[in-house]
Amino acid sequence: MSNTKQFDALVVGAGVGGLYALFRLREKLGLNVQVLEAGDGVGGTWYWNRYPGCRCDVESLEYSFSFDPELEQEWSWPERYGNQPEILQYVNHVADRFDLRRNIQFETRVNNATFDRKTNLWTLKTEAGETFQAPVCIMATGNLSIPRVPDFPGLDDFQGDTYHTGLWPHEGVDFTGKRVAVIGTGSSGVQSIPIIAEQGETLTVFQRTANYILPAANGPMNREIEAKHKAEYRERRAAAYDTPFGIAGFPPPTQSALDVTPEERTAKYEQKWAEGGSISFLYSYTDLLLSDEANATAREFVHNKIRSIVKDQNVAETLCPNDHPMGTKRLVLDTGYYETYNKQHVHLVNARKNPIAGLTQKGIRLEDGTEYEFDAIVFATGFDAMTGALKEIDVRTTDGRSLTKDWEAGPYTMLGLMSAGFPNMFMITGPGSPGVKSQMILSCEQHVDWIVDCLDYMRREGQAAIEPTDESQHDWTMHVKDVADATLYPKAASWYMGANIPGKPRVFMPYVGGVQRYKAKCEEIAANGYEGFTFTAAKKPELALAGDD
């Protein structure tokens, strides 16, 4: 008697994508769904990243589910940008309100996923040795879910406490009276540094790459804006799909930065700086992400801002980014970041000039031999982004395909939704989709809706399996590359390029052609009977999507 548990669909991950997949597959298709989640709660990114100051960089009225108008109206966000506890509370509310937990098995990490071409079934094996089977497997494994600590020599020698921002202790950390180091100045470092500085006796920040950081201009929710937004929610959600980043409310730019006078430019940048937010700033001109010369005008403006906020001009110069065009690494939104360096007990180390050589029993040693002593080290060192979580699962087929092997030179996908050779395995916001370059919840919803429509079509047509053709996948992957190559994005050594992981292929992974173009392409493909995909017919029509065993 086999202990394998059978379902119609398996979903890996109970973040926003996985939860919405569960909801739709269950409510629209009536499937028997099982979600497998490594954590002991829902929320994905918002479950794991509990570091102090963790906050979304998309405004809370936008960063929410759109599928239920009542949910939209009943939830009220306290601030312009949701912080991690509020977003996690919201995701938990969604799980309860739609009775999702009954189909989620927590504390269950999937190690293997194998597709059998004879039976058209996926078999998923967990760390604890359980086995689950279904014709459909949806990987809702997240883009920033594999935290990464650099392989510093002496990592285990350090006798103080260590933390990674992406694996923060649930009970929180009190740094009061401690000598603290933060390594990394991406979003996680920049958001946590001002708060850790309030607690620590000293705080030393190790910066390898200075980032472009704009004010969030966070504050309490303006209730008039909220009421207006809620009254217009349907139109605003539809409008969001018609934008590059999936975020409505920002008039698209009409002018080149080079077509206006320096005074006009500075006035525009000042206005955007005061408004806060990254989209608004990038929307100042049409060519900030296309022309290095245009981009240089924005860079200069931000450099001058840094010099005006940070009192010590040596520190200010170290904080001025100078190795990539602005916006080609994820822009960071801050609250009081630059001001933090005016505090006497906060120090900045230029880890580009003088890299970290390793950890010692007492702290950190730099390449020039300088040693620092700490009680605690915070690794804000990022993630094996976009492909990391899928590579952690050994994804194979019985006819000898291995996803890790197929993706050795970089991810190959059709629309970031599927990969050729792996039938019925769908990815939510996978590489090759706008995912990380968009409002993530909107992109998760768009992907899940496409997948659910596709499965519905297959059931009606008596199809058991779908996968992209090698040719369509190749064309899409080349298109993703061509679109990126026409922008400034590939100029930065970013996690979009895999550049933060030694040995990872340098391939620009997100689709930056815009949500509106991407969604139109997905719809066109579906309308043409899933052009670029092939189907395997079910042996008996009633067994479509229920396995052919």
Report in angstroms how near the CB of residue 500 gets to ligand NA7 at its nearest. Answer: 5
Q: Output 35 or 183, the one with its CB closest to ligand NA7.
A: 183
Q: Output 18 or 184, the one with its CB closest to ligand NA7.
A: 184
Report in angstroms how near the CB of residue 380 gets to ligand NA7 at its nearest. Answer: 5
Between CA 402 and CA 474 the distance in angstroms is 17
Strands 356-359, 363-366: pairing is: antiparallel
Q: Output 182 or 454, the one with its CB closest to ligand NA7.
A: 182
Q: Output 45 or 123, the one with its CB closest to ligand NA7.
A: 45
CB neighbour burial string for 331-342, b if at least 16 within 10 angstroms, e if fewer = bbbbbebbebbe
Half-sphere exposure (Cβ direction) of 104: Cα atoms closer than 13 Å: 28
Cβ neighbours of residue 465 under 8 Å, at least 6 residues apart? 120, 135, 423, 424, 535, 536
Q: Output 474 or 491, the one with its CB closest to ligand NA7.
A: 491
Q: Output 39 or 150, the one with its CB closest to ligand NA7.
A: 150
Report in angstroms how near the CB of residue 164 gets to ligand NA7 at its nearest. Answer: 9
Report in angstroms how near the CB of residue 350 gets to ligand NA7 at its nearest. Answer: 10
Between CA 113 and CA 138 the distance in angstroms is 11
Computed on alpha carbons and rounded to an integer, the radius of gyration of the chain in Å comes to 24
Which residue's C-beta sits nearest to ligand NA7?
A: 186
Report in angstroms how near the CB of residue 536 gets to ligand NA7 at its nearest. Answer: 37
Strands 131-134, 121-126: pairing is: antiparallel
Q: Cβ of 518: how many Cβ atoms within 10 Å?
A: 27
Report in angstroms how near the CB of residue 149 gets to ligand NA7 at its nearest. Answer: 9
Report whether 448 contacts 17 (CB < 8 A). Answer: yes
Q: Output 71 or 217, the one with its CB closest to ligand NA7.
A: 217
Between CA 403 and CA 420 the distance in angstroms is 9
Which is nearest to 492 in space by CA: 374, 353, 324, 332? 324
Q: Output 351 or 515, the one with its CB closest to ligand NA7.
A: 351
Report in angstroms how near the CB of residue 185 gets to ligand NA7 at its nearest. Answer: 4
Which is nearest to 244 in space by CA: 299, 285, 292, 283? 283
Report whether 508 contacts 489 (CB < 8 A). Answer: yes
β-bridge mates for residue 101, sequence order = none
Strands 202-207, 346-350: pairing is: parallel
Report whether 298 contacts 284 (CB < 8 A). Answer: yes
Report in angstroms how near the CB of residue 347 gets to ligand NA7 at its nearest. Answer: 15
Between CA 176 and CA 9 the distance in angstroms is 48
Q: Which residues bind ligand NA7 (CB under 6 A)?
A: 144, 150, 165, 183-189, 206, 208-209, 330, 351, 356, 380-382, 495, 500
What are the Cα distances from residue 486, in Å, to 115, 290, 342, 521? Answer: 37, 7, 40, 19
Residue found under tokens 């099982």: 34
Report in angstroms how near the CB of residue 304 gets to ligand NA7 at its nearest. Answer: 22
Report in angstroms how near the CB of residue 181 gets to ligand NA7 at its nearest. Answer: 11
Report in angstroms how near the CB of residue 48 gets to ligand NA7 at its nearest. Answer: 11
Which is nearest to 32 in space by CA: 107, 117, 129, 135? 135
Between CA 82 and CA 96 the distance in angstroms is 20
Q: Output 96 or 367, the one with its CB closest to ligand NA7.
A: 367
Cβ neighbours of residue 259 under 8 Å, at least 6 residues apart? none
Question: How is residue 371 written in tokens?
Answer: 């040693």
Report in angstroms how near the CB of residue 165 gets to ligand NA7 at its nearest. Answer: 6
Q: Output 46 or 495, the one with its CB closest to ligand NA7.
A: 495
Cβ neighbours of residue 17 under 8 Å, at least 6 residues apart? 44, 140, 142, 428, 429, 444, 447, 448
Report in angstroms how near the CB of residue 213 gets to ligand NA7 at its nearest. Answer: 11
Q: Output 208 or 265, the one with its CB closest to ligand NA7.
A: 208
Question: How is residue 287 written in tokens?
Answer: 């060519």
Q: Output 318 or 424, the one with its CB closest to ligand NA7.
A: 318
Report in angstroms how near the CB of residue 495 gets to ligand NA7 at its nearest. Answer: 5
Between CA 123 and CA 115 the distance in angstroms is 6
What is the total residue count of the chain? 549
Question: How is residue 113 written in tokens?
Answer: 């996923």
Report whether 213 contacts 190 (CB < 8 A). Answer: yes
Q: Output 57 or 548, the one with its CB closest to ligand NA7.
A: 57
Q: Output 466 or 492, the one with its CB closest to ligand NA7.
A: 492
